[in-house]
Every structure is written in C-alpha cells, then in structure tokens.
C-alpha cells in the first residue's frame, strides 16, 4: 500500500496510490497521514478498503511530505561502508545519531532553498522509515515489526554549516527544505526485504550516486532497536538511515549545488523525487 499527501503547502489531504498509479482521496476515511494513521490497526483498516471506492483525484497535484507532523526527525550518519570510505572516516562501531528540525520537511518535488551564506550545499539520497508502534527498549525483531513503512529522503546538507561552524552537524542539516520525503510512504509489507535496494541521485542529468542498501552498516531494525535505548519512539517519528557514496563532498574537486541546479533521485520500489535549487 502506498500512502501520500497531496495539495497546496499547508493544505495537504491524505491519499492512496492505486494499482494504476492514480491518486485516490482518503479524506473521508482519515484526517491525514500521520502518527494516528500508520499504526498497525489503522493500516489494517486502510488495507480493507477497495481503492476503486475512493474518489479519484484528477490531474497532477503537488505532493506534500508523505508523513505529517512527526515528533522526531532522526538521522544516521556514515551508515554506508563505501560512503565512510569516500569521506575518509572510519566505519563507526555504533550508529552516529543527529537530528533534523521537523521544519525541514518538505514535499518530494518542492524546491531546495539554498540558505543565506551557504557555500557548500550538498545532496544525499537515503532510505527512510516511519515508526508505527511505540518503542522503548525493544529488541531487533520487535523494532522490525514496529516499522510502518519506507520512503525516499534527500538528506540535504550544508557542509560548511555542518563541519566548519563549531558543531554540531545539526546546523547544516535542519534548514528549511532540507528534508524532502516521499513521493509516498510504502508500507513495510509491500517493501519486503530492504537489504539490496538500488539507490541513485543525479544533478543536472549527471549521475553522482548509484549505490545500494547492500552496503549499509546498520540495518533499519537494528537502528530502531538501538535508538530505543536512548529515547522512546512514537508512531509518526521518522528515521533516515544514511547515504551511499557519491555526495558532493566526496567528489575531487568538491561539487556543490547552486541556484537553478536540478536534482533527481530515487530508490527501487519507492519512487522518485525531483527538485530545483532556489535561493532564500
């Protein structure tokens, strides 16, 4: 099942993508796609609905962030062995955690806003997931079962803010528009095995990232179990799990995003995002 949010910014409605790739309106069924909608019980109710019975959405509306109002937006750094190698970093013994501001969330095709004073704007295609069941000190199997679904995330990063402004990483990770998610949330049962999903990202038609989740160091279930040792996780919380090699920081010489640049990215089975860079 593929769940999404469509409509103008701030006025998004809940929707479902049917087998023909058409958007069906869920407004009469749920208020939004959020922590209350992606619990196991709620997802079972949605699965029981015949998509053909839902109103068809005409045209190609804007897509919003596929999860509304998460309590947390948690990120895992250096979680791909080949990405750690390209940055010259050692493979971490435990997951590296940082946070994005929830205000960084944006739709999958919304513009990337280059912040004022930005000099090193970068990209990162990532596999993200949303929590569907409250988690505290859960083991890996319990954590795996608590993942409601997966989606594409572009972990947009400003490297000068992140690495050269006195710490922490959060400075370069949480700017407005730095967290496009979607186009849709694909429920965990439909995604199945996440151990070898193809991931890619292009800038102005040139492919920079062309990797796979197979080089991920810490798997989603382990990550969620690990996080639950340090904080409780609630339905609707988002976790994005790191990027394969090919980021701008890893190029020689470095490559940074500028006004007018066009970004396309995707993950097998989870859809694509398309963004253009504008200035704040």
Q: Which domain holds residue 126?
A: 67-279
Task: Note the pLDDT tens digit of each residue in 121-132.
Answer: 999 999 999 999
Band of pLDDT at residue 84, cut at 50, 70 and 90: confident
CA–CA separation, 40 vs 247, rounded Å?
36
CB atoms closer than 10 angstroms to residue 145: 16
The answer to whether residue 56 sits within a structural domain is no
pLDDT of 182 over the 90 cut? yes
- The per-residue pLDDT for range 201-249, each reduced to its tens digit, is 999 999 999 999 999 999 999 999 999 999 999 999 999 999 999 999 9
Compute the average pLDDT of residues 78-90.
84
Average pLDDT, the chain: 96
Does residue 16 lie in a domain region? no
Q: Give the pLDDT confidence of 251-264 residue by residue, as tens digits.
A: 999 999 999 999 99
Domain contains 6: no
Would you state the torsion angle of the CA atoms of residues 129, 67, 156, 213, taken in this order, to the nearest 10 degrees? 20
Residue 188 has pLDDT above 90, yes or no: yes
Residue 11 domain flag? no
- CATH number for 243: 3.90.850.10
Residue 90 pLDDT greater than 90, yes or no: no
pLDDT score of 208: 98
Average pLDDT over residues 17-46: 97
The total of structural domains in the chain comes to 1
- Assess if residue 50 is contained within a domain: no
pLDDT surpasses 90 at 270: yes
Tens of pLDDT along 40-77? 999 999 999 999 999 999 999 999 999 999 999 999 99
User: In this predicted model, what pLDDT tens digit does every residue of 138-175 receive, in sequence order?
Assistant: 999 999 999 999 999 999 999 999 999 987 889 999 99
pLDDT computed for residue 168 by the predictor: 83
pLDDT bin (cut points 50, 70, 90) of residue 85 is: confident
How large is the C-alpha radius of gyration of the chain? 18
Q: Quote the distance between the C-alpha of residue 176 and its chain's center.
A: 15
Per-residue pLDDT band for 86 (boundaries 50, 70, 90) equals confident
Per-residue pLDDT, 178: 98
Give the per-residue pLDDT at 262: 98
For residue 90, give both structure tokens. 């050692």
């Amino acid at each position: 099942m593929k769940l999404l949010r469509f409509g103008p910014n701030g006025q998004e409605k809940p929707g479902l993508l049917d087998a023909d790739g058409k958007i069906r309106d869920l407004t009469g069924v749920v208020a939004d796609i959020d922590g209350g909608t992606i619990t196991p019980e709620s997802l079972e109710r949605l699965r029981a609905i015949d998509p053909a019975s839902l109103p068809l959405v005409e045209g190609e509306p804007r897509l919003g962030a596929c999860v509304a109002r998460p309590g947390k937006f948690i990120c895992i750094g250096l979680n791909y062995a080949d990405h750690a190698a390209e940055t010259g970093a050692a493979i971490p013994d435990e997951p590296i955690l940082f946070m994005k501001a929830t205000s960084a969330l944006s739709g999958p095709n919304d513009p990337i806003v280059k912040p004022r004073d930005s000099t090193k704007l970068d990209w990162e295609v990532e596999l993200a997931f949303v929590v569907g069941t409250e988690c505290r000190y859960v083991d890996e199997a319990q954590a795996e079962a608590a993942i409601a679904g997966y989606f594409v995330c572009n972990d947009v990063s400003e490297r000068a803010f992140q690495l050269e402004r006195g710490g922490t990483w959060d400075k370069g990770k949480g700017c407005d528009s730095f967290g496009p998610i979607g186009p849709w949330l694909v429920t965990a049962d439909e995604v199945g095995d996440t151990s070898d999903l193809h991931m890619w990202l292009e800038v102005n038609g040139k492919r920079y990232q062309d990797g796979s989740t197979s080089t991920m160091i810490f798997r989603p279930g382990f990550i969620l179990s690990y996080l639950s040792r340090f904080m409780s996780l609630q339905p609707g919380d988002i976790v994005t799990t790191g990027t394969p090699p090919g980021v701008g920081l890893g190029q020689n010489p470095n490559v940074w995003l500028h006004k007018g640049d066009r970004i396309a990215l995707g993950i097998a089975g989870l859809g694509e995002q398309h963004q253009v860079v504008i200035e704040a």
